[in-house]
Amino acid sequence: MGKSNFIDHVRLYCRSGNGGAGSAHLMRDNRTTKGGPDGGDGGRGGHIILTGNKNLWTLIHLRYQKHVFAESGFYGSKSRSSGAAGKDQVLEVPLGTVAKNSETGEILFEITEHGETKILVEGGKGGLGNWHFKSSTNQTPRYAQPGLEGLEGIYVLELKVLADVGLVGFPSAGKSTLLSVVSAAKPEIAEYHFTTLTPNLGIVNHREQKSFVMADIPGIIEGASEGKGLGLRFLRHIERNSILLFLVPADSDDIDKEYNILLQELKKYNPELLDKDRFLAISKSDLLDDELIEEIKKELPDISYEFISSITGQGIQKLKDKLWTLMNKES
């Protein structure tokens, strides 16, 4: 998934439909000249609705849809006939989409399941027809309620990538290279910071035609939880990964220190992230001989690990096996 078509944040001006007015009709026919009230209710205004679609991976289809208007409800009519409801505007979104109020920043809801439907902006309620207001003291009410106006405002949709395994590491740790090796994903790869500007998803094929989804999250830098670098924009994607795969290169000055810096950034952003299963992969291990590997093992943090090389394939199958076991440990 190229960076040109991965859109994970859109702002929409939304206006739901007005409710239709109730009718103040009085019954009249060939045999009745002074009938009672029979005005029907107005129809509700159209809602603006979000529905989950598992086949979508980005919000790009909403990128240029800056305004979303729903249809207003129709007027009530005679014989207590209610007006039709205004047509809803239904927006399909990928799983992991969060809807927010732009002004307050309040999270309204999240879409996490295929077919899940939630109302983003409610349409105005239709007005009551005059027959509702008939009473013993007012046999012929000649008034009805107007419909309520729809709501309007600016709403933000943010996507949190849904994946089984999320790659966590500093820029240039080798995340994109690993993803390109274990899946068919083709992320941009280069030896400079922030080559990856958007998350990349890859389907990792495992044994016996099994598979899982891995996400290459843009590199974290120290201070990302305070918004430094690309900061908060990307940390939110990690929330939706069931396993966090920390990637630290073998030529790092201090693997344990680098791992703990990454861990602290996640903790500052959202302490609940530390409840997720974690695994450490030491990348670029083709630079090491057996003696160096044994020395490095003594300094590693207390976490399951694997020495890997995306260039030679060292440890790649073992890594996939261990990740699969971790994902399915409960079952």
Confidence band, pLDDT 50/70/90 cuts, at residue 300: very high
Asked if 46 and 17 count as a contact pair (C-beta separation under 8 A), the reply is: yes
148-184: string of b/e by CB count within 10 Å (b at 16+)? bbbbeeebbbbbbbbbbbbbbbbbbbbbbbbbbbbbe
Q: For 166-201, write each residue's pLDDT tens digit.
A: 888 887 777 888 888 888 655 444 444 433 445 677
Strand pairing category for 117-121 and 48-52: antiparallel
The residue among 209, 52, 37 whose CA lies nearest residue 139 is 37
- The correct CATH number of 163-327 out of 3.30.450.20, 3.40.50.300, 2.60.40.1930, 3.90.1170.50 is 3.40.50.300
pLDDT for res 163: 74
Return the beta strands (E) in 169-222 as ranges.
200-205, 211-216
More confident residue, 196 or 38: 38
Query: What angle (nearest 5°) sits at the alpha carbon of residue 252, between those of residues 251 and 257?
Result: 155
Q: Does the pLDDT value for residue 156 go beyond 90?
A: yes
More confident residue, 183 or 301: 301
pLDDT in tens, 126-140: 999 999 999 988 988
CATH code given to domain 1-159 = 2.70.210.12
Q: Which two tokens stand for residue 284?
A: 């670029």
| Domain definitions of the chain by residue range | 1-159, 163-327
Residue 157: pLDDT over 80: yes
What gap in Å lies between CA 123 and CA 45, rounded to an integer? 4
